[in-house]
Amino acid sequence: MAEFSPGLEGVVAAETAVSEVDGANGRLIYRGGYLIEDLVPVVSFEEAAYLLWHGELPNESQLDALREQMATARTLNKSARGTLMAMDAATEPMDVLRTVVSAQGASKSLTKPSLDEAIALTAVFPTIVGAARRRGQGKAIVEPRADLGHAANLLWMMHGEEPAPEKVHLVDTYLVLLADHGLNASTFAARVVASTGSDLTSCVVGAIAALKGPAHGGATLAARNMLDKIGSAEDAEKWLREAHARHERFSGFGHRVYRTYDPRAKILREMAKTAAPDLHRTAARTEEVALAILHEAHPERPNATNVDFWASVVLTGAGIPKELFTTVFATSRVSGWTAHVLESLADLRIIRPASRWVGPEPGKKPLQLTKR
Amino acid sequence: MSSGYVPGLEGIVASQTAISMVDGENGRLVYQGYVIADLAEQMSFEEVAFLLWEGRLPNRSELDALSLELANHRTLTQAANITLDALPTDTDPMDVLRSVVSVQGVEHRLGKPSVPLAIHATASFPTILARFHRRQSGLDPIQPRADLGHAANYLYMMNGKESSPEVVRALNTYLVLLADHGMNASTFTARVIASTESDLISSLVGAIGALKGPAHGGAPAAVIEQLELIGTADNAERWMRDARKRKVKFMGFGHRVYRVYDPRAKILKEMCRRMNPKFYELATKVEEVALQILHEEHPERPQSTNVEFYSAGVLQAIGLPKGYFTPTFASARVAGWSAHVLEQAAHNRIIRPQSEYIGPEPRKPIPLAERV
């Protein structure tokens, strides 16, 4: 039998045209062949989602049609709303998202994943995230606004006030940057679920479940928590040296695929300067010291800053409360998850790997209960 | 660094496990060293769940403690009840299960997977299904009974009366047989989710989504539907040869791993003979013809009857409605899913495979106004 590579590291599990992480050269390519740094100045989240779904950037009328379709799909259905309101207001927001998406997509009979469904699911995430925030604050839920774009509507539903254009821009850019990233764990989970012929909601719910983990989407919050503990640029060196001595892992550093600086982190680092100047100062010093310590400890390892580190600073600058970071990540990545599921339909084959037996020799006879 | 792409990860070792082994060559299914035939009709589902979670069979006091813990966690939270009642009565019970398990397991802060959490989740599945079934039938929910075992209580909550010992035994055997099965797609989904350090409920919700697919757990109802179309044993050959010309797939045949008769199918077939003679008469004829036709088409392939085929007859004899076949499968497999999550968490490495990019070479995006 084949060799065992823990975590399937280096094992090719899918062919895809949705995105490519070129770790050796520090490039992220979105469908159609666009480098992430070329897209960011040119496209909105809706355009990026269109690109991931269709393989081409939309023209003006195609973009208008997509925006309109998304704006009309922002409302929760009756079961989803009932489910949302039944949950304790202090529920972890990712659990709210997982549950309400499941209820919103509950259906009478199995349907094949479709683009319309992908659009509808993507459109409804800000509604759920906004509602989770409002309820968590003990405030009334804000209804979606059809005249706002995706990023602006997300901020509107969280805060209940007209968002400032520069905050909208920060969120929109973040959403474009995080929309897809090769075969990461949540996308892979979505593709495994899809491979059984299941429905799109099941795929997306499974992906939300995977993104929740601190080793995946939860890492942005962990990075921000670390920066909060460090407190200031002046305290960074002392805190990091002590943490390192306690064998604590630095949040926001290291990635399985990139061998150079993550191109998304580079863009976010630049944005962070103006988005959150104070936190940026702490973060910049933290990065400098952390990379130095990691290099001293493992000179052979390419220990680079990952996207979560600088995303945590930019999202803070955009006015997103840290408890909501992972849900905002999901709000972006759902476009990629659904693009991957739709792509996988063209050649659906159940993903059923093998396992290696490390248990007792088969054939042991069970003892009767009274003799155990 | 990356190896060649193997569709569906066939033959690729994705995990090491001591929970179960599918020995496809010899037609053996092994749980923690015990061959399934030695467990199936002698052990309760509770004993087998303990075996999967703890790696050994329980003694009397351990079994009593587990039974009590299960009985104490058969009630749903208020939020779960409200969610369940908010879903339309014609919702697919798998979507109900996915949504209500999600809400039943919500947390305020991220918890680590544990045996108690596995017990609580396993205990809740029958309650969710029975409550929804009663609602669909316009009947009041039945409160669980602590004095009944897992299988007996499930049937009691579904039907509002106790089932005969023979029927309870049959359901128990079914649950034991289906409790685990190596690295199948839903179990693998659960492990991918667990590998991000997400919580147990997230893994289970993802696994339910995968089991729903017709290429995985969604098939037993389709077996019954196909047998209904065939109608009688005399009609089998004519109907099936004709169906084949129309490229109709025979439901309940073929499996990626077994090269000989599935040991579970063998046991279920014998149960069908005793409990469901009408089904047995038709099904054995259909099986004979299906295997003959499949052999004619692909003499090189080891086409054999899979577990779904005779599962359908057993579940029908037990009196479960067709729509509850796959959710009952989930009620068995939740034991295995949670055992795999615990094992994954104990030896974790994030499951993040590679993908092969098949899209266009990098190029520059055109601004919106210039796109045609």
**Do A372 and B57 make contact, defined as CB atoms within 8 angstroms?**
yes
**C-alpha–C-alpha distance, residues A271 and B155, integer Å:** 59
How close does chain B come to A367, measured CA to CA in Å? 8
CATH architecture of the domain with range B20-215+327-346: Orthogonal Bundle (1.10)
Q: Which amino acid is at B37?
A: A
Q: List chain A residues with CB under 8 Å of B11.
A: 1-2, 353-354
Residues B59 and A112: their CA atoms lie apart, in Å, by 47
Query: Does residue A369 fall inside a structural domain?
Result: no
Looking at the fold, whether A152 and A261 belong to one and the same domain comes out as no
Q: What is the DSSP letter of A260?
A: S
Determine whether the interchain pair A360/B33 forms a contact, defined as Cβ–Cβ distance below 8 Å. yes
Please work out, in degrees rounded to the nearest 5, the angle formed at the alpha carbon of residue B209 by the alpha carbons of B68 and B343: 55
Element (H, E) at A34: strand A34-35
In a domain? residue A151: yes
User: Both tokens of residue A36?
Assistant: 């992430």
Domain boundaries, chain B: 20-215+327-346, 220-317
- Shared domain check, A43 and A116: yes
* Same domain? A100 vs A195: yes
Which of the residue ranges A217-221, A328-332, B10-14, B148-152 would you say has the lowest mean pLDDT? B10-14
Mark whether A64 and A125 lie in a shared domain: yes
Q: Which residues in chain B have their CB less than 8 angstroms from residue A76's CB?
A: none
Number of structural domains, chain A? Answer: 2
Which contiguous run of DSSP H or E holds residue A185? helix A185-194
Rounded to two decimals, the ipTM of the complex is 0.96
Substitution target from B354, B356, B361, B372 for chain A, most A beta carbons within 10 A:
B354
Q: Do A209 and A275 sit in the same domain of this protein?
A: no
- The answer to whether B116 contacts chain A (CB < 8 Å) is no
Whether residue A157 is found in the same domain as residue A285: no
Which residue in chain B is spatially nearest to A216 when comparing CA positions? B196
Q: Is the pLDDT of residue B2 over 60?
A: no
- The CATH number for A139's domain is 1.10.580.10
Size of the A and B interface in Cβ pairs below 8 Å: 430
**Do the domain assignments include residue A365?**
no
**Residues A253 and A190 occupy one common structural domain:** no
Per the annotation, the verdict on A308 as an active-site residue is yes
B172 vs A: CB within 8 A: no
A138 touches B at CB < 8 Å? no
* Mean model confidence pLDDT for chain B: 94
Of A116, A128, A113, A22, give the one whose Cα is nearest residue A76.
A128
Picking from B7, B55, B257, the nearest residue to A349 by CB comes out as B7
Quick one: CA dihedral B72, B77, B82, B83, positive or negative? negative
Domain CATH for A244: 1.10.230.10
Q: Does the residue A99 lie in any domain?
A: yes
d(CA A287, CA A236): 9
Domain interval for residue A60: 32-165+179-213+332-347
- According to the CATH classification, is domain B220-317 in 1.10.10.10? no
Q: Tell whether A171 is covered by a domain.
A: no
Rounded CA-CA distance B168/A5 in Å is 43
- Asked if B83 and A103 come within 8 Å (Cβ–Cβ), the reply is yes
Sign of the alpha-carbon dihedral angle for B308, B312, B314, B319: positive
pLDDT at A113: 98
- Both A97 and A207 in one domain: the answer is yes
Measure the CA–CA gap between B370 and B372, rounded to whole angstroms. Answer: 6
With tokens 């990635």, the residue in question is A255
- Please report which confidence band the pLDDT of residue B135 belongs to, taking 50, 70 and 90 as the band edges: very high
Spatial contact of A352 and A201, defined as CB atoms under 8 Å apart: no
Mutation target among B10, B41, B57, B351 for the A interface, most CBs of A within 10 A: B351
Interatomic CA distance for residues B241 and B292, integer angstroms: 10
In this structure, the strands spanning A12-16 and B354-357 are parallel
Which residues of chain B have a CB within 8 Å of the CB of A81? 86
Phi, psi of A28 (to 5 degrees): -115, 120
The stretch B208-236 carries a mean pLDDT of 92
Instruction: Collect contacts of A341-345 with beta carbons under 8 A, ≥24 apart.
Output: A341/A113, A341/A118, A341/A190, A341/A191, A341/A194, A341/A200, A341/A203, A341/A204, A342/A53, A342/A113, A342/A114, A342/A115, A342/A118, A343/A16, A343/A17, A343/A18, A344/A14, A344/A191, A344/A194, A344/A195, A345/A112, A345/A113, A345/A194
pLDDT in tens, B188-198: 999 999 999 99
B371:A58 CB<8 A = yes
Residues A79 and A195 in one domain: yes
Interface mutation vs chain B, best among A59, A95, A107, most B CBs within 10 Å: A95
Q: pLDDT tens, B230-256? A: 999 999 999 999 999 999 999 998 877
| Residues of B belonging to the active site | 255, 308
User: What was the pLDDT predicted at B363?
Assistant: 92
> H helices then E strands: how many in chain A?
16, 5
Residue B182: its chain A contacts at CB < 8 A? 354-355
Q: What is the pLDDT of residues B42-91, one digit of tens each?
A: 999 999 999 999 999 999 999 999 999 999 999 999 999 999 999 999 99
Give per-residue pLDDT as tens, B153-203.
999 999 999 999 999 999 999 999 999 999 999 999 999 999 999 999 999
Q: Tell me: the pLDDT tens digits for B335-352? A: 999 999 999 999 999 999
Quickly state the pLDDT bin for B7 (edges 50, 70, 90). confident
Is B346 touching A (CB cutoff 8 A)? no
Packing angle, helices B263-275 and B307-318, rounded to 10: 30
Q: Both A150 and A255 in a single domain? A: no
Tell me whether residues B209 and A211 touch, CB distance under 8 A: no
Residues in chain A: 372
Whether residues A157 and A248 share a domain: the answer is no
Q: Is residue A189 part of a domain?
A: yes
pLDDT tens-place values along chain A, 372 residues long: 457 888 898 899 999 999 999 988 999 999 999 999 999 999 999 999 999 999 999 999 999 999 999 999 999 999 999 999 999 999 999 999 999 999 999 999 999 999 999 999 999 999 999 999 999 999 999 999 999 999 999 999 999 999 999 999 999 999 999 999 999 999 999 999 999 999 999 999 999 999 999 999 999 999 999 999 999 999 999 999 999 999 999 999 987 778 888 999 999 999 999 999 999 999 999 999 999 999 999 888 877 899 999 999 999 999 999 999 999 999 999 999 999 999 999 989 999 999 999 999 988 899 999 999
Between strands B34-35 and A27-30, the pairing is unpaired
A52 shares its domain with A98? yes
What pLDDT sits at residue B3? 54
Bridge-based pairing of strands B13-17 and A354-357 is: parallel
Would residue A183 count as lying in a domain? yes
Q: Exactly one of A181, A255, A280, A340 is catalytic; which is it?
A: A255
Same fold, B20-215+327-346 and B220-317: no
Rounded Cα–Cα distance for residues A367 and B169 (Å): 20
Give the A window 107-126 contacts with B, CB below 8 Å: 107-110
